[in-house]
Structure 1
Amino acid sequence: MSLFICILISVAAFVFMEGIAWFAHKYVMHGFLWNLHKDHHQPHDGLFEKNDLFFLIFAIPGWLCIQFGWSSEAWWVVSIGCGITLYGIAYFIVHEIIIHRRFKFFTKSNNRYVKAIRWAHKMHHRHLNKEEGESFGMLFVAKKYWDKIKRDEQVQKDQFSR
């Protein structure tokens, strides 16, 4: 199997994971596993949450694909595992570092994408219970949040031009 095909499979798996993450967040985390996710929506002390256990839940399929694909030389399976793992890394960077600032990097970004994902996530977290949620994805931001950021930037520009 060519390297190009393996990379395409990894990219496809990465993109597909956004849909899996959205579905799992909406129907699993805000559904029957709410008891693990609830502390993520509530104020609490300490660095860790029960919600952090989802890291393992999502890491296991990627690890298994890489492990079993490698041992059986099924490179397409390894590629899927790599896509899942890369999504996990992106999730960690975007959700834990950029959005929730659990680690103090990228704290003062003026990037529109960063502003949009932070606003979308803020709107998700304004709901403290499992019902009536919004914005369950992570990397793809709905148009309404982009529009809100553009409006904010326009208001700020208008204020400075007075």
Structure 2
Amino acid sequence: MLNTELTFTDEFGSLLVIMPSVLKKLLGYRQLDSFSNEAAGVLIGERRESHVVVHEISEPGEGDIRRRYFVDRRGPHHQAVVNEAFARSSGRLQYLGEWHTHAEDSPSPSAMDLGTWRRHLVAQEKMVLLIVGRKKIWAAKKDAELIVPLIGV
């Protein structure tokens, strides 16, 4: 699973592709034991017409609040990673959305997750949402107020 990309699709055939290096990092934050805290960061990549490719992520760091069943991505390093990728790629790589972990095998968003995304993740473009569970990754696109789960390919 680590040497290939992870791909999801929506009902219209638009793809979300998570590159292997990103997948490896995301899986490294799984909450596999009873002492693991939630982790969170941002997704960075490119939009290719209706498709989205995730090339990089920001990772947990100083300033973030991490608990077993709660995470608050507060560290300024997340924005710094986005800014650096954007500048390095002449604007090709950009902020695409957010990821975090859940301490469950097959994750799904909590009421808090849904409310937070609806209130704070406001953009003209469709945004990507990922929740990394112990065995599966949940993915969705947010379009205005609508959050649409994606299907693994």
Q: Same fold (TM over 0.5)?
A: no
Which of the pair has the greater relative contact order for Cα pairs under 8 Å at 6+ separation?
1
> Which has the higher Rg, Structure 1 or Structure 2?
1
TM-score, length-scaled by structure 1: 0.31
Higher strand share: 2
TM-score, length-scaled by structure 2: 0.33
